[in-house]
Structure 1
Amino acid sequence: MNKDQQNELVEDLSEVLQVRRDKLAKLQEMGRDPFHQSRYDRTSNSMAIKNNFDEMEGKIVKIAGRIMSKRIQGKAGFIDLQDQEGRIQCYVRLDRIGEEEYSIFSTYDIGDIIGLEGEVFKTKKEEISVKANNVVLLTKSLQILPEKYHGLKDQDLRYRQRYVDLIVNPEVKNAFLIRTKALKALRSFLDERGFLEVETPILNTIAGGANARPFITHHNTLDIPMYLRIANELYLKRLIVGGFDKVYEMGRMFRNEGMSVKHNPEYTAMELYQAYADYTDMMDITENLISHMAEVATGSMVVNYQGTEIDFTPPWKRMTMEECVKQYAGVDFSTINTDEEALAIAKEKGIEITPGMRRGEVINAFFEEFGEDKLIQPTFITHHPVEISPLAKRSVDDPRRTDRFEAFANGWELGNAFSELNDPIDQKGRFMDQLRKKELGDDEACDMDEDFINALEVGLPPTGGLGIGIDRTIMLLTNSTTIRDVLLFPTMKPIETNKKSDEE
């Protein structure tokens, strides 16, 4: 399309939009301003009418929704009305609603929101419909919906205008209905097992609880920097110290990092903590919780993701991180005991070496490079190196490892859990190590949290903790290829910024 054609299209579009505004103005002159309508008493919806036709045939109903198609044939017309539950055909005749009302009805546009009262019946073609006795315009749509057969296909526009996406691509709703079912299942699963849902601060004075780059803001009254939480872990463990035995929180976390099909700057996570439990108890909860979410939300513990069946049925496969590296990278770290040896094999295998890197960090780098994407079926990777696990308890059998696991499926990390470190002296040493990493340029390293150390000194009982990435889990349950498809309003770069960048 050349520039002249584009300009002509814009002019045509402007004319159509003006016609809609002219129609609104005429209605307002007649004292029929649709925006003065405050409410409409509905008695039914499209799905209820279709599912219960035998009972509802011949009865008068009041329904409301958006006009999605319109066919006027002289003194009668058909419209498809769309509400939250679906669509239903409505039949409007001049001799039933009157000449004046029919004349006004004939001017309604696709996208307008109406209320309709009428009789439930079947057409000669056996389509369940509503024969209108009265039609009222509730909202005039001043914009144009995408064309019926092509819909809204531009992905960028779909995310920016999710409200239009939901209107013209009704199947999109299904992913969010599955999400809601899955989250309800999660809550009921934990509630039934005695977990207490709590709320902890989103604005923090310290960026802690995980290795991640935070969003930084400023509190004017206190004149201090503050951070949007990257995790809620440290607050939840304070509650265990305070005497709650089982707590959980599900909510938004914020990380000022890259964006990808699996990453959005704000995302939903669930963390839980249980006193007198360890990481093996967390494994049991993880595989039973996620399989329960899958079954409730989709009807099965086996889901098809992009042509691959993923079976969440417990028990899941379990292997240590070193076993995974040995299987997929061919390197046996049980024979590699020093940082120097680890760095040498990393260099030999082409692993990127960062300042201050040690044996445990090399093991993790090997796992991420060679093992992670091989974990298609649900798998627990256990016993992470202590260097990458600043909040996990050391393993008794090998103090270089921790009693920790990550849950993987489709090559993605879905959950992270461990036996919580409750030794305040060891924890302070781990924080000091994180500060060392920060000095070496690691802007994802944790800050020192003196109050958390104090809480551990008061006494944290043996505790198991678990975090689950909700959005990635929902992606698998809904066969979604990008995290944006399971977020109603994903983070998008403003259009104005895009234009500015283009000009520059």
Structure 2
Amino acid sequence: MLTREGKNHSRIFSKLYFTEDASLSVQTLLAPGDLVAVADNGEITLLAPALQKLPERYLQVDLLKQWQEFLYWVREFFKEQGFVEIQTPGLVTCPGTEPSLDVFSTDLVLGSRREKLYLPTSPELHLKKALALGAEKIFEIKKCYRNGEVTTHHQPEFTMIEWYRAFDNLASIKKDVAELVKYLGSKMSSVNGPKAVDSFTIAQLFKRDCGFELVPETNKEQLRELATKLGVDVSSATQIDDYFFLLFLEKIESQLPTEHMTFVENYPPYQAALARLTEDGWGDRFEVYWQGLELANAFHELNDAKVQAERFKEDLAKKKAMGKEMIPLDEEFLQCLQAGMPPSGGIALGLDRLFMALTGVSKISETRLFPMK
């Protein structure tokens, strides 16, 4: 049987011993969840009493090990390709101007100096500054932050990789994506690759799934009429981007085969973001989909400072119309464009989502020990 050392018998790091006293038992001295050590001589030491139940969180050691293995091989792929890993700031003056994104902010206090700073929604602007400073093949694996959404595919804090090729275009970036996924499949056990790789332009998909001839000049009214015809609820839409997104989400993205990795290319000019336009007026960018997940967003990078400044102003006007927080522009980034950033291809890829697609994990919360609930 067991007895407890000490007069008050409190369950706080006491020693328990075997005894002949039949009135005592393990059940009366220990509680479920107590951590104990048992010596060879039968002595039992209470290491930590279970005075409270654990929070509802689940430690999946095998999955955490697989995540670490995943990050290791991602880094190895880019190092083998001759890329240099960059580290950009975790506090920035401009987190990005994408109208749909909500941000996290904080205040820098240095004596009498007060400055509002932000957690980055991506490292894009600083990596492009590095291109202007002379970098050519660079990547960063970074924690990024976007406010306002917790779903099976979204967490406010997530892990992103961005990589850039100076003096190059989207063809090389597209090849990188396919080769990265193939490489990870060859290095990691118990992962699945895509059954096929497809490429479509936005215009092809609108023709196939909506029976509509989308052109760069298609306006908001035409998209509204198409939505009405197809029975897509666009009552929440106010701008052309909204109509485009709601149509794409319901009629196109939902039709992409989950087991194929699909590149969707050439977006309307109002969806160009930080990409340059093609000669025929499309935004020269692509997105990547696999396993029902939007994995990546790639640009043939815009390096015209004047056009970029105009787009930033358009973004801020959209933010204002949507009632979102206004943010300052990164003037140093615009200075770098004016000084000369080389034509480049670049991409932002969500590593949590790529890990989910490879391993079959259905919820992004399962990829971490402490997800936001």
TM-score range with shorter-chain normalisation?
Answer: 0.7 to 0.9
In structure 2, the partner of 1:293 is: 184
The Cα offsets for residues 107-132 of structure 1, whole Å up to 9 and x where unpaired, read as 66654445567xxxxxxxxxxxxxx5
Count of paired positions: 361
> What pairs up with 1:153-232 in 2 under 5 angstroms?
160-162=55-57, 165-166=58-59, 172-208=60-96, 210-211=98-99, 212-221=101-110, 222-232=113-123
SS at match of 2:116: strand
Counting aligned pairs with the same residue, the percent is 27
Structure 1 residue 455, shift from structure 2 partner: 0.6
Which amino acid in 2 is paired with 1:461? P
Indicate the SS of the match to 2:172: helix
Amino acid at match of 1:449: D
Q: By how many angstroms is 1:256 displaced?
A: 1.2
Whichever residue aligns with residue 234 of structure 1, its letter is L
Cα 1:174–1:392 change in 2 (3 A) is same
Decide which structure has greater helix share: 1
Q: Among residues 249, 255, 268, which one is paired with 1:385 in the alignment?
A: 268
**Residue in 2 that maps onto 1:344:** 225
* Structure with larger Rg: 1
**For residue 140 of structure 1, what is the amino acid of its counterpart?**
A
> Aligned to 2:212, what secondary structure does the other structure show?
coil
Farther off after superposition, 480-489 or 233-242:
480-489
Alignment of 1:318 with 2:207, yes or no, is no
In structure 1, what residue type is equivalent to 2:272?
S
Query: Which of 112, 137, 146 is the aligned partner of 2:45?
Result: 137
State the SS of the aligned residue for 1:256: coil
8 Å contact from structure 1 (residues 378, 407) kept in 2:
yes
Secondary structure of 2:267's match?
coil
Distance in 2 of aligned mates of 1:295 and 1:141: 46
C-alpha displacement at 1:444, in angstroms? 7.8
Cα pair distance change 1:196/1:442, threshold 3 Å: farther
Q: Deviations over 1:241-281 (max 9, x none)?
A: 11121222212211112221111111111111121221111
Structure 1 residues 336 and 406, CA, compared in 2 at 3 Å: closer, same or farther? same
Q: What is the CA–CA distance in structure 2 between the aligned matches of 1:328 and 1:446, rounded to whole Å?
A: 37
Aligned to 1:276: 167
* 1:240 correspondence with 2:131: yes
Separation (CA, whole Å) in 1 of partners of 2:6 and 2:304: 72
Distance 1:135 1:324 in 2: 71
Give the corresponding residue for 1:75: none
> Deviation of residue 138 (structure 1)?
6.9
Shift of 1:188: 0.9
Moved more, 422-431 or 342-351: 342-351
**Conserved 8 A contact 1:336-1:342:** no
Root mean square deviation of aligned Cα: 3.4
* Structure 1 segment 69-468 matched on structure 2, within 5 A: 111-113=33-35, 132=40, 137=45, 139-143=47-51, 160-162=55-57, 165-166=58-59, 172-208=60-96, 210-211=98-99, 212-221=101-110, 222-300=113-191, 302=192, 311-312=193-194, 316-334=197-215, 337-349=218-230, 350-352=232-234, 357-358=239-240, 362-375=243-256, 376=258, 377-396=260-279, 398-399=280-281, 401-441=282-322, 443=324, 448-468=329-349
After superposition, what is the alpha-carbon deviation per residue over 1:132-170, rounded to whole angstroms, capped at 9, x for unaligned? 56766372232477xxxxxxxxxxx8xx443xx33xxxx
Q: Contact (CA 8 Å) 1:179, 1:297: kept in 2 or not? A: no
1:322: Cα distance to partner? 1.7
Conserved in 2, the CA contact under 8 Å of 1:392 and 1:420? yes
SS in 2 for 1:481: coil
Instruction: State the Cα distance separating 1:409 from its structure 2 match.
Output: 1.0
Q: Quick one: distance in 2 between partners of 1:325 and 1:442?
A: 30
- The 8 Å contact of residues 199 and 263 in structure 2, kept in 1 or not, is answered as yes
> In 1, Cα distance between the equivalents of 2:307 and 2:186?
41
Q: Structure 1 residues 332 and 447, CA, compared in 2 at 3 Å: closer, same or farther?
A: farther
Q: Which runs of 5+ in 1 are unaligned?
A: 1-19, 38-97, 118-131, 146-156, 167-171, 303-310, 493-504
For CA contacts below 8 A with separation 6 or more, give which structure has more relative contact order.
Answer: 2
What does residue 89 of structure 1 align with? none
**Structure-2-length-normalised TM-score:** 0.83
- 3-state SS of paired residue (1:180): helix
Aligned CA distance change for structure 1 residues 27 and 318 (closer, same or farther; 3 Å)? farther
Deviations 1:87-123 (A, max 9, x none): xxxxxxxxxxx9679x999666654445567xxxxxx
Give yes or no for contact 1:298–1:477 (8 Å, CA) kept in 2. no
Q: Using the alignment, how far apart are the partners of 2:90 and 2:345 within structure 1? A: 23
**Residue equivalent to 1:484:** 365
Give the Å deviation of 1:227. Answer: 1.6
CA distance in 2: counterparts of 1:189 and 1:446, whole angstroms:
36
Cα displacement (A) at 1:318: 0.5
Report how far residue 215 of structure 1 moved.
1.4
